[in-house]
Chains A and B, each alone.
Chain A
Amino acid sequence: MSAAAPPRGGVDRDAVARTKAQILGLAPIERSSLDADVTKPDVESVEGELFTVNMGPHHPATHGVLRLLVSLEGEVVRDLKPIMGYVHTGIEKSCETKSYWKAIPFVERMDYLAYFFNMQAYCGAVERLLEIEIPERAAYLRVMHMELNRIHSHLVWLGTTALDLGAMSMFWYCFRERDRILDLFEMSTGQRMHTRYFQVGGVIEDIPQGFEQQVIAFCDEMPERIDQYMALLDQNEIFLARTKGVGIVPKQHLLDLGVTGPLLRAAGEPWDLRKTHDYLCYHDLEFGIPVGTVGDNYDRYRVRLVEMRESVKLVRQCVEGLPEGRFIIDDRKIALPPRDELGTSMEALIHHFKLVTEGFRVPPGEVYNPIESPRGELGCFVVADGSAKPARVHFREPSFINLQALLDMCKDEYVADLIANLAMLDPILGGIDR
């Protein structure tokens, strides 16, 4: 009996000590010894009978209204088909009947965890069509809010993913910090979600007094919180066993499938539009791009956590380097005149009236404006026909494209890992269905 008991030798203690050192020092994780244990299910041993199971559309682990038609052989996934469209609301079509500035609240509601990014993709496209430059202060304010939004989106991802893998408490901790970010949004924009804060030409209003201190207080606290998340998960045997070596897709295949964002970076491709495409004020700011080495679910988790740290740095730099000046351009043909002028200036009143009733006209042209959202390349394609309404608004939603990689992540793995893989993919069904 004593011979069968597992050895309580130095190996286990070493493993724990190494994990602790990595948490404190953030050294890269070695996993040669762990990888050896990961084996794919034995293909020959399961019976050759396929069994088709419907997952979703109403299932909490599908992160929205996604339906998966899964072909199982025993417990092994052989094929799956995503079926979507359950929350298709025709936002792209509706935008064609709205003037340019009235389409902003519509596009926000596509990917409902990355609303600032949707606004930036759309407003950036319209600004390119109008050939205007936004003021520097507006660019800093936009980046500040977008990076806060990135942390918020990753926090929701982390909480729900850990919940899918059985770590209940993570959900509450992540939503605690997420709520602080929503409080910040409420303070600066008046709304917690779907803020309509970005306008064509800048942002709708300046940040209130005391906002900067609140953001700095959040930035001071957040790195420690991320350490705590890592301490909770990186020593959790179940979490490690469920993530390491699971869902690996080769880098080249991800590129063929058009996958971008943390999924691609976890596979070792340092591709980030914030670095490669010059938009807003990212060229003034200092930040790193985390990349993985193996491309499994553990790397995806690590990449996103380090991204949150980098976003905290970006937010802090935005607050500290926030330039003075206008927060929206001074072109009365595009931006609303200040409210206080309406009582005294006839011209301001006319401009206000024309902008609110008809909106501004955009010269004919078409543009595709890509930015880096929390899920990858978010592109907005706008066709202008010279009128005050867009002729076509299309979003290249990273969730929609990335979902194509799900089959490759799950094929010939256990159905239990399908849940983990889907969670690591971070699909937002509002973005997929639009």
Chain B
Amino acid sequence: MYDAAGLALLERELNDRLGVAAVVGHDLHCGQASLAIDPDHNRAVLSELRERHGYNFLSSLHGADYLPAKPRFAVHYEMLAMARVERICVKALVEDPGHSQIATIASVVDLFATADFQEREVYDFFGIAFDGHPDLRRILMPEEYVGFPQRRDFPIGGDPVIFTYDEDSVPGWTK
């Protein structure tokens, strides 16, 4: 398990190795270690953790909306080092670009194949696009659904059930 000093060391080591301030903060709370990172360097940090620190398993990838905080979104990568039985949460803080544009972060599907469905889920519910994802479509909501329902400002209730009858015209399914 990490202590605060070990986590600070890890942060400095990662930043030194990558040559940029990729890790912007660390936190140890309720027995959970986490690193806050710059979303532009998420791939570099994850590969570094995998190659040099033994984090061979991406156990979960999920999003969160911290409205009204800034940056508003975060993509969490729960990394697991199976040999040492150690977990660390890598939290990429993603800014909301506003003006009905959606935020973008690099996909990690080629590093961890397990990210495929989970990145689609984050896209589906939070509207964070994953650059380089092979097949970025909605996964649980209907394809033509408007809005990103897990955002904190998305109202709850009142949605009618949608029947579309447009299976042939939706491009992704038969691709």
A258 adjacent to B114 (CB under 8 Å): yes
Q: Which chain B residues numbered 54 to 75 have a C-beta less than 8 Å away from chain A?
A: 56-60, 62, 64-66
Separation of A370 and B86 alpha carbons in the complex (Å):
12
Selected contact of A365 from candidates B30, B85, B156, B174, CB within 8 Å: B30
* One of B13-21, B37-45, B93-101, B136-144 at the interface: B136-144
CB-CB under 8 A for A85 and B142, given A97-B156, A400-B117: yes
Kindly state whether residue A367 has any CB partner on chain B within 8 Å. yes
Separation of A94 and B139 alpha carbons in the complex (Å):
19
Q: Which residues of A contact B65 (CB under 8 A)?
A: 392
Closest to B89 in A: A368
A52 adjacent to B174 (CB under 8 Å): yes
Q: Would you give the shortest CB distance from B115 to chain A, in whole angstroms?
A: 8
Kindly state whether residue A381 has any CB partner on chain B within 8 Å. yes
B59 adjacent to A396 (CB under 8 Å): yes
Q: Would you give the shortest CB distance from A222 to chain B, in whole angstroms?
A: 31
How many B residues have CB within 8 A of the partner chain?
38
Separation of A367 and B138 alpha carbons in the complex (Å):
26
A381 adjacent to B76 (CB under 8 Å): yes
B18-30 interface mask toward A, CB cutoff 8 Å, 1 = contact, 0 = none?
Answer: 0000000000011
Separation of A253 and B57 alpha carbons in the complex (Å):
11
Q: Which residues of A contact B57 (CB under 8 A)?
A: 255, 258
B116-144 interface mask toward A, CB cutoff 8 Å, 1 = contact, 0 = none?
Answer: 11100000010000000000001111100
Separation of A365 and B66 alpha carbons in the complex (Å):
11
Selected contact of A276 from candidates B30, B85, B142, B156, CB within 8 Å: B85
Q: Which residues of B contact A96 (CB under 8 A)?
A: 152
Q: Would you give the shortest CB distance from B57 to chain A, in whole angstroms?
A: 6
Q: Which residues of A contact B87 (CB under 8 A)?
A: 368, 370
Q: Which residues of A contact B165 (CB under 8 A)?
A: none
CB-CB under 8 A for A93 and B156, given A379-B60, A394-B62, A433-B140: yes
B78 adjacent to A379 (CB under 8 Å): yes
Interface secondary structure of A, over-half rule: mixed
A404 adjacent to B117 (CB under 8 Å): yes
Q: Would you give the shortest CB distance from B166 to chain A, in whole angstroms?
A: 14
Q: Which residues of A contact B117 (CB under 8 A)?
A: 400-401, 403-404
Kindly state whether residue B106 has any CB partner on chain A within 8 Å. no
Separation of A81 and B139 alpha carbons in the complex (Å):
11
B139 adjacent to A84 (CB under 8 Å): yes
CB-CB under 8 A for A401 and B62, given A368-B76, A368-B89, A391-B152: no
B30 adjacent to A131 (CB under 8 Å): yes
Kindly state whether residue B163 has any CB partner on chain A within 8 Å. no
B31 adjacent to A128 (CB under 8 Å): yes
Residues of B with Cβ closer than 8 Å to A?
Answer: 29-32, 56-60, 62, 64-66, 76, 78, 82, 85, 87, 89, 112-114, 116-118, 125, 138-142, 149-150, 152, 154, 156, 173-174
**Which 8 interchain pairs have the tightest Cβ spacing?**
A258-B114, A396-B60, A85-B140, A88-B140, A256-B113, A128-B30, A394-B62, A276-B85
20 contacts between A and B (CB under 8 A): A88-B141, A92-B150, A96-B152, A97-B156, A128-B30, A129-B30, A253-B113, A255-B82, A257-B114, A258-B112, A258-B113, A365-B29, A366-B64, A368-B87, A370-B87, A381-B78, A383-B66, A392-B65, A396-B59, A400-B117
